Amino acid sequence: MRTTLSLRTSALALAVVGTLFVGQAAASGFQLREQSVKNLGKSSAGSMVGKDAAVVSLNPAAMVNLDKNTFQADLTVIDLNAKFTGGGSILGNAAAPLTGGNGGDPGKPTLVPNMAAVFPMHGALEGLTLGASVGAPFGLATKYDSTWVGRYRALESDVKTVDLTLSAALKVNDSFSVGAGVIWERGEATLSKGIDFGTAICAGSGNPLNCFNPAYPFKPQQLDGSLTVKGSDNSIGYVVGAQFAPTDKLAIGLSYRSEINHELKGTLDFVNVPALLGADPRFKDGDGGARLVTPSVTTVSIKYVVTDAFRLLADYQRTGWTSLKDVTIKRTNGTVVGSEPFHWSNTNFYSVGGEYDLSPAITLRAGIGFDKTPTHDAYRTPRLPDNDRTLYSIGASWNVSDSLSLDAGYQRIEIKSPTVAQGVDIASGNTSTLIGKFTGHADLLGVSMQYRF
């Protein structure tokens, strides 16, 4: 039964890992950049020097660009379309293929809301600006068909992070400002995955060939169960930034968002455990947890005013995904259930864009970006069938009055088709292969309202 135990313990680890890193978010890894619809419409170019309340969490120093109390609400719908083509086999035996379909479209339209408010101080506090925001910087949601060919790797995943950021900015002089903020982050994760108990039993019998013996009573893919893992945690981080505008035409913004460490605590729920294993405490429902680190993010933005009506914008962003070295799963008594490495790399994001004031009431914008994936061909799994992305964006603002403006933005994300080549690894709980590729893209549509008073 040693192999069966290995399968069970690592299946739990892989399931929790999958909760955090499955599917396609709106940026590489599971990062979201939808804090601002204005930024959406220009592929985030110039995001750290905008006249936009979203800078509360992006670059607090840029809050000085707003000279009135400002409230802003942004709503963005992310619609992933993806398709898997491929298959697999039990214990690498081509004569024992995995059953099931392609999983359907794992993505669904997901709404990402963000809100922010900025308050310039006056009198003795002139030059100080305070701000608050609530938003979702990381998250994703995917769901495969329950009988798909990759069900033993992933079924359903839902990850949410919600940040409350409280920031302050100080205008040092007409050219330079600094800012900082405290981030309170709530992380929640829910997932499910299939478990092939039939293969676990026959492979753990001491003779893996029993899995292909018609007379053996326990058959692969005929004793399927599942595991659902839920966890949540609250933690603290910070954001700091600066803005430098040496001339009326040039502005440069710099921001750093810290890593945030989470110790997720939750429950483990096994379903359809065979009677042979029903008395085994290792398959009992219970409490457990895992460590999650949301990565650091460093961003540099540039804005150059070409004419009174036209502005060129650019962004560079570095995301520190190497902080995700592994996820170690533990029960509440401290027993290590499993540990999985990531082999992720830090990523670079580049974008350029522009804004054109068609009239005092209407501003048009557009942008293009390139987002590098943190994953590698050698280690990619269907938990995160991620690859390099190219972003194409358009947007517009309507200044209804001196107090009210409305924004809309659309972004198309083209994803380079990622391949998946997962082999058998009994020690990691994988008793089947899965080989294929994903094709897909994402569409993002956002609307925003900004009210100044």
State how far the alpha carbon of 76 is from the alpha carbons of 87, 115, 247, 355, in Å: 34, 12, 34, 20
| CATH value at residue 371 | 2.40.160.60
Domain count, the chain: 1
350: confidence class by pLDDT, cuts 50, 70, 90: very high
Query: Within its chain, how far is the Cα of 234 from the centroid?
Result: 17
Average pLDDT, the chain: 86
- Yes or no: say if 287 and 331 are a contact pair by the CB < 8 Å rule: yes
Examine the pLDDT at 13 and tell me if it is beyond 70: no
User: Residue range 284-293: average pLDDT?
Assistant: 80
Q: Give bridge partners of residue 447 from the DSSP assignment.
A: 75, 408
Residue for token pair 């979702």: 136
Residues paired with 291 in a beta bridge: 263
What pLDDT shows up at residue 19?
35
Q: What percent of the chain has pLDDT over 90?
A: 51
Q: Is the pLDDT of residue 45 over 90?
A: yes
How far is the C-alpha of 308 from the C-alpha of 433, rounded, in Å?
59
pLDDT for residue 169: 98
HSE (CB half, 13 Å, CA atoms) of 282? 17
Mean pLDDT for 288-303 is 89
Q: Which residues contact 320 (CB under 8 A, 6 or more apart)?
A: 259, 295, 296, 297, 298, 346
Q: What is the pLDDT of residues 62-98, one digit of tens each?
A: 999 999 999 999 999 988 888 899 999 998 888 889 9
Q: How much of the chain exceeds pLDDT 70, in percent?
A: 89
Comparing 304 with 102, the larger pLDDT belongs to: 304
The pLDDT of residue 7 is above 60: no
Task: Report how far residue 316's alpha carbon sits from residue 47's, in angstroms, rounded to the nearest whole number.
Answer: 10
Looking at per-residue pLDDT, the higher value among 393 and 4 belongs to: 393
- What pTM value is reported for the model? 0.87
Selected residue with higher pLDDT from 51 and 28:
51
**Is residue 9 over pLDDT 60?**
no
The half-sphere exposure of 316 on its side-chain side, counting CA atoms within 13 A, is: 4
pLDDT at 123 over 90: yes
Q: What is the predicted pLDDT for the residue at 16?
A: 36
pLDDT at 202 exceeding the cut of 50: yes
Residue 65 to residues 50, 71, 249, 257, Cα–Cα distance (Å):
7, 14, 14, 20
What H or E segment, with its residue span, contains residue 14? Answer: helix 2-21
Q: State the average pLDDT over residues 150-157.
A: 85
Q: What is the tens place of the pLDDT at every residue in 411-422?
A: 999 988 888 887
* pLDDT over threshold 70, residue 25: no
256 by Cβ neighbours in 10 Å (0-12 / 13-18 / 19+) ranks as: middle
Residue range of the domain that includes 209: 2-452
Q: Express each pLDDT in 165-188 by its tens digit.
A: 999 999 999 999 999 999 999 988
